[in-house]
A and B are shown apart, each in its own frame.
Chain A
């Protein structure tokens, strides 16, 4: 499928179905409303075919370049049809699951996720293992026909809506670091899993603390090799920094347009406003240009790696400049107002504070750039 034809057909289809696809709630909606709408949009795209392009036939996809997936998320975000966050989970987890899980497991489990009938989550972080992910301790002990998982995870986004979790566990000695980690694809309704959602500072139950108490996971749910989980985790990270970032960049583009429209409506054509807009726009364009190069490398079949840390740093600063400008230029809207638009600005402003934290902190990204791209040798 030629990308330009695809984009045109997709655009026409989205226009024809605009009402059908628009969120049925005003503003950001509750988490439940958002998730229900996400499923609806995903399902509609899947049924129309657009949601299946860019995925291999082995998981019920229709094949074609990953650029097609980047385009779908871009159009959805430019039109504000669906919050990008739940959407990220597919783009982050599925390519690696296809690459590393047993083919029959991927073939059976991925399609309902792509259809929007299911949600998956990512169980990496632990209370004592954040940036130092390789020190994780949630244990998977060998048992008849599989593993018994015991331990604790934290910040697991969307688990309360999820059917499966890509879980990193310790299978080697406690101090085996990245050599003794195994990735498992776990059913969230397995006996022994309990979770309690944690409220974020932007007022949402985005993530949860999760306890695993002798949770049985069958052998065939192994992702990659036993003790090869680090390789799986490292394979996931570049996906986290490619397609999903392109989608998020489209959201930032729409919100920058919203800000310009608001300033025009306010009659604010000051140099202060212009300068802040210029800075926000140039950061966004730097990110989008870099990310476009990354999308094309992915589409050309190149292996993405540590260089995507640059994309991550660029989108973080684009996001922070944009919502920083929103706060500076909208004169108290973020701080005081409670109408729907203001609530959306406030949510976005507050959520931008998470950008330098999730998916590897700003400091960790700079460590990677220094070590791997500038070849500065070991840190002291």
Chain B
């Protein structure tokens, strides 16, 4: 494994990242701050550990920093910078987001907030079953200002046609499949970071809020909802951790699917426990909920991944033994 950063340094970086992400700055400034803290060096020294550390912090802080761009570019073997963005697959999918049509390139995907200020964009194109990686002028990706459910505007949909001759092939050292796996693992850690935040909010509320003369945490229906959330989080977290020692793309798909499911379950239960206050714009809960909805769709979701995984098993005809003692 190339992942070699000692635990102490990692913990120190994690604290630094969290502090930078918690600052109320624009995503581009956060990205720059993270690069200043050594994000690029971390990612090259320890791609999976480093990404997991940063993405856990993204989940906890709900920052809209564009680190997914870096994880994907790095996995492909492309140098990263705060001015380089990546075009991600369309929601719930993991296929390359562009395909040729005549002289044009049809792009149907997602971009992060980084695309706004970026100079270069990385675009994966699928043609005749092969994926090629290209670079384009990020100016070609400008579209309507992001709307959507997420007030933090971390990602927006991108649907454009660009001239095919605008693409410059980029040499890569990693496959698209490995980039998808890296993205899924990182996003699983983000979803679980967010789920842990939501669970902690709901737990504190349950303990503090009294009705019928006692804390609502004393009601079994409430307790079981929170317990169920923790169980799903821990199950998914164990798989997301296992991905750090095993780059198997199937394991990454499982981790992302489980994390999305755990986050969705936790969001539903936390919302119910928070009740009225959790439905307000004033309580912070909705920011995490909405980000979770968006992040779940990236590179395959909890609703699309089980079928993808199942088709994989059916075409293999056997079930691989992924987790070894």
Report which A residues bind B (CB closer than 8 A).
3, 7, 67, 70-71, 74, 78, 246, 253, 256-257, 260-261, 263-264, 269, 271, 273-279, 281-283, 285-290, 292-293, 295-296, 310, 313-314, 363, 365-367, 369-371, 373-374, 376-380
Q: How far is the CA of A377 from the CA of B206 in the complex (A)?
A: 10
Task: List 4 tightest A-B contacts by C-beta distance, closest first.
Answer: A278-B306, A274-B310, A286-B235, A370-B223
By a CB distance below 8 angstroms, the chain A residues around B324 are 292
Asked if B203 is at the interface (CB within 8 A of a chain A CB), the reply is yes
Q: How far is the CA of A314 from the CA of B307 in the complex (A)?
A: 21
Asked if B280 is at the interface (CB within 8 A of a chain A CB), the reply is no
Most chain-A Cβ atoms within 10 A of its Cβ — which of B220, B305, B313? B313
Assess the B231–A310 pair: CB atoms within 8 A: yes
| Chain A contact surface mostly | helix
Shortest CB–CB separation between residue B54 and chain A, in angstroms?
22
Given A260-B317, A264-B314: A285 touches B323 (CB 8 Å cut-off)? yes
By a CB distance below 8 angstroms, the chain A residues around B226 are 370, 374, 376
Assess the A278–B305 pair: CB atoms within 8 A: yes
Q: How far is the CA of A174 from the CA of B317 in the complex (A)?
A: 58
Assess the B203–A285 pair: CB atoms within 8 A: no
Shortest CB–CB separation between residue B227 and chain A, in angstroms?
4
| B residues 285-316 in Cβ contact with A at 8 Å | 305-311, 313-316
4 new A-B contacts at CB < 8 Å, known A271-B311, A369-B230, A376-B217: A260-B313, A274-B313, A276-B306, A376-B226
Give me 21 A-to-B residue pairs in the complex whose CB atoms sit less than 8 angstroms apart, sorted by A's number. A67-B325, A253-B319, A260-B318, A269-B314, A269-B315, A275-B310, A277-B306, A278-B309, A281-B319, A282-B257, A288-B322, A289-B241, A314-B231, A366-B224, A366-B227, A370-B227, A373-B230, A374-B203, A376-B207, A376-B226, A379-B219
By a CB distance below 8 angstroms, the chain A residues around B323 are 285, 288-289, 292
By a CB distance below 8 angstroms, the chain B residues around A281 are 254, 309-310, 313, 319
Shortest CB–CB separation between residue A346 and chain B, in angstroms?
21
Given A278-B306, A281-B319, A292-B323: A367 touches B223 (CB 8 Å cut-off)? yes
Assess the B239–A278 pair: CB atoms within 8 A: no
Q: How far is the CA of A373 from the CA of B317 in the complex (A)?
A: 40
Shortest CB–CB separation between residue A90 and chain B, in angstroms?
19
By a CB distance below 8 angstroms, the chain A residues around B223 are 366-367, 370-371, 374, 376, 379
Partner of A380, one of B203, B206, B214, B309: B214
By a CB distance below 8 angstroms, the chain B residues around A296 are 325
By a CB distance below 8 angstroms, the chain A residues around B315 are 269
| B residues 235-253 in Cβ contact with A at 8 Å | 235-236, 238-239, 241-242, 251
Residue of A nearest to B323 (CB): A288
Shortest CB–CB separation between residue A69 and chain B, in angstroms?
11
Report which B residues bind A (CB closer than 8 A).
203, 206-207, 214-215, 217-220, 222-224, 226-228, 230-231, 234-236, 238-239, 241-242, 251, 254, 257-258, 261, 305-311, 313-319, 321-325
By a CB distance below 8 angstroms, the chain B residues around A67 are 325
Q: How far is the CA of A212 from the CA of B257 in the complex (A)?
A: 52
Assess the A286–B238 pair: CB atoms within 8 A: yes
Q: How far is the CA of A79 from the CA of B288 in the complex (A)?
A: 45
Q: How far is the CA of A290 from the CA of B254 in the complex (A)?
A: 14
Q: How far is the CA of A290 from the CA of B241 in the complex (A)?
A: 10
By a CB distance below 8 angstroms, the chain A residues around B235 are 283, 286-287, 289-290, 310, 314
Shortest CB–CB separation between residue A153 and chain B, in angstroms?
28
Partner of B238, one of A293, A367, A373, A378: A293
Assess the A374–B230 pair: CB atoms within 8 A: yes
Q: How far is the CA of A63 from the CA of B324 in the complex (A)?
A: 22
Partner of B257, one of A246, A257, A271, A278: A278
Assess the B224–A292 pair: CB atoms within 8 A: no
Q: How far is the CA of A314 from the CA of B230 in the complex (A)?
A: 11
By a CB distance below 8 angstroms, the chain B residues around A293 are 238
Assess the A273–B238 pair: CB atoms within 8 A: no
Assess the B313–A377 pair: CB atoms within 8 A: no
Assess the B319–A289 pair: CB atoms within 8 A: no
Q: How far is the CA of A326 from the CA of B314 in the complex (A)?
A: 14
Assess the B220–A379 pair: CB atoms within 8 A: yes
Shortest CB–CB separation between residue A64 and chain B, in angstroms?
13
Assess the A377–B215 pair: CB atoms within 8 A: yes
Assess the B310–A276 pair: CB atoms within 8 A: yes
Shortest CB–CB separation between residue A304 and chain B, in angstroms?
15
Assess the A256–B314 pair: CB atoms within 8 A: no
Assess the A282–B228 pair: CB atoms within 8 A: no
Assess the A282–B309 pair: CB atoms within 8 A: yes
Partner of A369, one of B217, B227, B311: B227
Residue of B nearest to A370 (CB): B223
Residue of A nearest to B200 (CB): A374
By a CB distance below 8 angstroms, the chain B residues around A279 are 306, 310
Q: How far is the CA of A70 from the CA of B324 in the complex (A)?
A: 11
Q: How far is the CA of A104 from the CA of B315 in the complex (A)?
A: 56
Assess the B307–A275 pair: CB atoms within 8 A: yes
Partner of A282, one of B206, B224, B254: B254
Assess the B218–A271 pair: CB atoms within 8 A: no
By a CB distance below 8 angstroms, the chain A residues around B214 are 380
Q: How far is the CA of A260 from the CA of B311 in the complex (A)?
A: 10
